Amino acid sequence: MEKIIIFDTTLRDGEQAPGAALNKSEKLEIALGLAHLGVDVIEAGFPVSSKGDFDAVCAVAKKVKGPIICGLARAINKDIDAAYQAVKFSHRPRIHVFLATSKIHMKYKLQKAEDEILRLAVASVKYAKKYCRDIEFSPEDASRSESEFLFKVVEAVIDAGATTLNLPDTVGYAEPEEFSRLIASVKENVPNIGKAIISVHCHNDLGLAVANSLEAVKRGARQVECTINGIGERAGNASLEEIVMALDTRKDIFANLNTGIKKNEIYKTSRLVSKLTGFVIAPNKAIVGSNAFRHEAGIHQDGVIKERSTYEIIKPQDVGFYGLGLVLGKHSGRHAFNERLKSLGFHLTKKQLDKAFLRFKQLADKKKNIFDDDLMTIVEDEIRIIKPLWKLISFQVNSGTQVEPKASVRLKAKLKSFEGLSSGDGPVDACFKAIDKITGARGELLDYRLEAVTRGKDAIGEVNLRVKFKNRIFSGRGSSTDIIEASILAYLNSVNKYAL
Ligand code: KIV
Ligand code: ZN
């Protein structure tokens, strides 16, 4: 068996998706989830880009054991210094240097000639090599680079010490057959290519990121760069769950290849990333969308009942999806609750379990049937690492057809309680304005989405929103059987991120 190295860049390229900004504790939480999932490399950020990113990469490097922790750097010494200063806390640090090699990037973006690019590429790899053994080099926009020049750069950086050679389809322009030829031509024309692992990094602008990555694997790429739920710049990156499940499901084509991913952790990790980034997963998203395993047409349902494989190529449980699974109710005890959580992949500390169980009991008083998704929502809320500055104590709203909506919200911060009163265009707007009065953070609501977590009139409502404070956008999420409360919690979540 040969291993396909799964390089996860959710925390770097994924976080570059507009509006996906994650704070340090959220990044750490996702990184711990990725380590648990079994990824081989975590690209934790771009340390020189901001102090926040630098601190987050340091935190991941210090706390996350198992995977290689990688930091991105341009071919500039100060970037490489910052990347190393951040990843050096890991037992397995990697520096990832990138420099564009396509004519279009060299001319317009970098304004540098080929010779200068070649010199910088080599110098930067040599400089990074002084810090650590594990160096990845990416000729950015490789798929639109002139072949001869690309081969020259690749050969030179491998001679300079690059151990992984990543070929990015930076703008998602490549087509599978063409991308496959690119990998083959690099193998044929770069004499020392055997000294480095070939990696690919595909973007999804034409919806071909996964197809291109798989073609590359067929041609000998042994590292695939991807993100959870395919999030990333513009249309995103190749999605980790699709790559992993394609390799696994089509063993007939990808014989003798495997990944170290624990497949039954996929669904949980996907939810975690969705919740912390605020990026809702499309229902029809392959592998992790809510419809991915749902059979609606009568003929399909009948087929699946007779023989699952008629319409199902993956067992939902294999990726950790157990459907609605009615499991617990008002009379369920702590033991049953904990056992169910364990089977869903959550192993809580005693303190976390106490909090989650209390919340479960409160929910069970309001809601007769509690489904797995309800449980996951409770736990995901209760085991957050972030300590919020502002907490909701209570609220009251008055609204109706002939009255002006008014809200009174009471919040707590550092043991003091504060009350805000406001009217608004609706009860939610009135609550948000009341919160603004207390916190002084004037948020501009950009996006608001309300979804029922499970079915039934008593279902938990989950609100995902995006708010602009000054010039930064923060996502927020909150859940409750009361949709006004869910909205307040979501808004407070974004205020707390801003406050951090
Ligand atoms: O898309 C890209 O080219 C990148 C590089 C930094 C690898 O993200
Ligand atoms: Zn990228």
Ligand lying closest to the C-alpha of residue 169: 1
Distance 124 CA to ligand 1 centre (A): 16
What is the model's pLDDT at position 17? 84
- pLDDT-above-70 percentage for the chain: 98
Distance set, CA 432 to CA 402, 425, 427 (Å): 21, 11, 9
Using CA positions, which residue lies closest to atom 6 of ligand 1?
Answer: 98
Whether the per-residue pLDDT at 385 is higher than 60: the answer is no
Q: How confident is the model at residue 192 (pLDDT cuts 50, 70, 90)?
A: very high
Whether the per-residue pLDDT at 345 is higher than 80: the answer is no
Distance 452 CA to ligand 2 centre (A): 33
Distance 220 CA to ligand 2 centre (A): 20
Computed over every residue of the chain, the mean pLDDT equals 92
In this prediction the pTM is 0.84
Using CA positions, which residue lies closest to atom 5 of ligand 1?
Answer: 140
Whether the per-residue pLDDT at 348 is higher than 80: the answer is yes
Residues, beta carbon < 5 Å, ion ligand 2? 13
Instruction: Give the nearest ligand 1 atom to 72 CA.
Output: 6
What is the model's pLDDT at position 384? 62
Distance 359 CA to ligand 2 centre (A): 40
What is the model's pLDDT at position 387? 67
Instruction: Give the nearest ligand 1 atom to 225 CA.
Output: 7
Higher pLDDT, 16 or 114: 114
What is the model's pLDDT at position 221? 98
Distance 170 CA to ligand 1 centre (A): 6
Distance 353 CA to ligand 1 centre (A): 40
Whether the per-residue pLDDT at 327 is higher than 70: the answer is no
Mean pLDDT of the region 405-421: 95
In whole angstroms, give the CA distance from residue 147 to residue 150.
5
Give the range among 114-118, 224-228, 353-357 with minimum mean pLDDT.
353-357
Q: How confident is the model at residue 236 (pLDDT cuts 50, 70, 90)?
A: very high
Using CA positions, which residue lies closest to atom 1 of ligand 1?
Answer: 170
Q: How confident is the model at residue 75 (pLDDT cuts 50, 70, 90)?
A: very high
Whether the per-residue pLDDT at 329 is higher than 90: the answer is no
Distance 173 CA to ligand 2 centre (A): 12
What is the model's pLDDT at position 323? 66
Q: How confident is the model at residue 240 (pLDDT cuts 50, 70, 90)?
A: very high
Mean pLDDT of the region 238-267: 97
HSE on the CB side for 13, CA within 13 Å? Answer: 30
Whether the per-residue pLDDT at 224 is higher than 90: the answer is yes
Whether the per-residue pLDDT at 325 is higher than 70: the answer is no
What is the model's pLDDT at position 321? 86
Mutate to test the pocket of ligand 1, among 9, 13, 74, 79 (most ligand atoms within 8 A of CB): 13
Structure tokens at 247: 């390799």
Structure tokens at 12: 């770097």
Distance 415 CA to ligand 2 centre (A): 44
Q: Are 148 and 174 in contact (CB under 8 A)?
A: no
In whole angstroms, give the CA distance from residue 209 to residue 345.
29
What is the model's pLDDT at position 164? 98
Q: Are 109 and 100 in contact (CB under 8 A)?
A: yes
For residue 198, give the 3-state DSSP assignment: strand
Ligand lying closest to the C-alpha of residue 96: 1
Give the range among 96-100, 144-148, 335-339, 441-445 with minimum mean pLDDT.
335-339
Bridge partners of 352, per DSSP, are: none
Instruction: Give the nearest ligand 1 atom to 13 CA.
Output: 8
What is the model's pLDDT at position 198? 98
Mean pLDDT of the region 10-39: 91
**Ligand 1: residues whose CB is within 6 Å?**
13, 98, 138, 140, 166, 168, 170, 201, 203
Instruction: Give the nearest ligand 1 atom to 98 CA.
Output: 6
Ligand lying closest to the C-alpha of residue 138: 1
Q: Are 219 and 199 in contact (CB under 8 A)?
A: no
Mean pLDDT of the region 10-21: 87
Using CA positions, which residue lies closest to atom 4 of ligand 1?
Answer: 170
What is the model's pLDDT at position 151? 98
